[in-house]
Amino acid sequence: MELGNIEKILEKYFEATTTVAEEKKLREYFAQESVASHLEQYRPMFNYFSIAKEERYTKQVPLKPRVNYYKWLSVAAAVVLTFGIYFGKQYQERKEAEYAYQETKKAFELLAENFGRGTEKVAYLKEFQEAKEKIYNNN
Amino acid sequence: MKQTEFLNVVMPFKDKLYRMAKRLLVSREEAEDATQEILLKLWSKNESMGEYKNVEAFAMTMTKNFCLDRLKSKQAGNLKLVHSNYTDETVSLQKQLEAEDSIGWMERIMEELPEQQKMVLQLRDVEQYEFEEICDLLDMKPTAVRVALSRARKTVRDELTKKHSYGIG
């Protein structure tokens, strides 16, 4: 490939009017050991393009889609929520029952206290009875 | 589509996807992740893949869109800049050092280009796509592609000329 031709292609190259085949010629020219000194500055450009094309994707092609954890997360959340509501309700019912028991107990205690007061008073009546019997017996 | 069939379709251009992703995202890890994501998406669409005329072009467009989204998103703030991931065992050590130096320049020069020019340059000068293919992939008019390509090439030339004359002086 004579120099004049390369220069012409290079000019077209920067106007982006070259074909793929012409660009290949340029890359081939710049891949040579010796390049005309005034074109030396373009060498890294074309060499870089050739090298850049050598880069490979080395990782394995992943075909198993990753498991969608979010789907299972929502299932777990629903389960927890159901159990939470169920046991929470049970717990609340037990609390309510205990409260009612305490209240009833308090009411009974109040009642028992008042009854006690009643019997104290009635004890005097017994005193009266005894005195009455003493009188009757003496007669 | 079976796994082996899918692999036969995807294998020839998976490197192109990766190189495109790397051109845009710069970091190797990011580019690998992006490529993996694209391949997974393709595989999940394998039922309907027969409908696409050109799977490679479709995948390339997907990669472009994915990477541009990635750059736009906040996560792009976490992108690491990684240079010179290249190893070329075929050339001698001294040549390798020289070559790596100029490759480093080229990488940096290309990083500085606007995204559209980057993509056009990558598709044309690295992957040697035809103009019509680039128009389809990037959804651009032929004249716009030529203008972008010409600008990108001239910018690279000017930057290289600058470096070159520094080296002499």
DSSP B10-60: HHHHHHHHHHHHHHHH--HHHHHHHHHHHHHHHHHTGGGGGG-S-HHHHHH
The confidence band for B102, taking pLDDT boundaries of 50, 70 and 90, is confident
pLDDT digits (tens, 9 = 90+) for A54-103: 888 888 876 765 566 778 888 999 999 999 999 999 999 999 999 999 99
Check pLDDT > 50 for residue B142. yes
Residue-wise pLDDT for A15-33, tens only, equals: 999 999 999 999 999 988 8
Band of residue B100 on the pLDDT scale cut at 50, 70, 90: low
Give the DSSP letter of residue B90: T
Asked if the Cβ–Cβ distance from B32 to A59 is below 8 Å, we say yes
* Closest Cα in chain B, distance from residue A77 (Å): 27
CB contact under 8 A, B103 and A51: yes
Enumerate chain A positions whose Cβ falls within 8 A of a Cβ in B. Answer: 13-17, 20, 23-24, 40-45, 47-49, 51-57, 59, 61-63, 65-66
Q: Residue type for B59, please? A: A
pLDDT score at A112:
92
As to burial, measured by CB atoms within 10 angstroms (0-12 exposed, 13-18 middle, 19+ buried), residue B59 is buried
- Given this model, what pLDDT does residue A67 score? 61
Residue B69: helix, strand or coil by DSSP? helix
pLDDT confidence of B129, banded at 50, 70, 90? Answer: very high
Segment B133-142 shows an average pLDDT of 92
Instruction: Assess whether pLDDT exceeds 60 at residue A14.
Output: yes
What's the mean pLDDT in B36-48? 86
pLDDT confidence tier of residue B169, bands split at 50, 70 and 90: very low
The pLDDT confidence band at residue A129, using thresholds 50, 70 and 90, is confident
> In this structure, is the dihedral angle defined by the CA atoms of residues B145, B149, B150 and B151, taken in order, positive or negative?
positive
- Among the residue ranges A108-117, B40-49, B81-90, the one predicted with the least confidence is B81-90
* pLDDT over 90 (residue B134): yes
Cβ separation A41–B164 shorter than 8 A:
yes
| Cα of A62 to nearest chain B Cα, Å | 7
Q: State which amino acid sits at residue B79.
A: L
Confidence bin at B125 (pLDDT 50/70/90)? very high
End-to-end Cα separation, chain B, in angstroms = 61
Does B38 have pLDDT greater than 60? yes
**With 0-12 CB in 10 A as exposed, 13-18 as middle and 19+ as buried, what is B124?**
buried
Q: pLDDT, tens digit, for every residue of B64-88?
A: 999 999 888 855 555 555 554 544 4
Which ipTM was obtained for this model?
0.76
Q: State the residue for tokens 């472009």.
A: B64
Lowest mean pLDDT among A28-32, B47-51, B52-56: B47-51
The number of residues in chain B equals 169
Q: What is the pLDDT of residue B18?
A: 94
Do A16 and B153 count as a contact with CB atoms less than 8 A apart? yes
Going by C-alpha positions, the residue among B110, B120, B103, B128 that lies closest to residue B25 is B110
Residue A133 pLDDT > 60, yes or no? yes
| Mean pLDDT of the residues in chain A | 87
Tokens of B63: 């990669």
Note whether A41 and A49 are within 8 A (CB): no
More confident residue, B115 or A1: B115
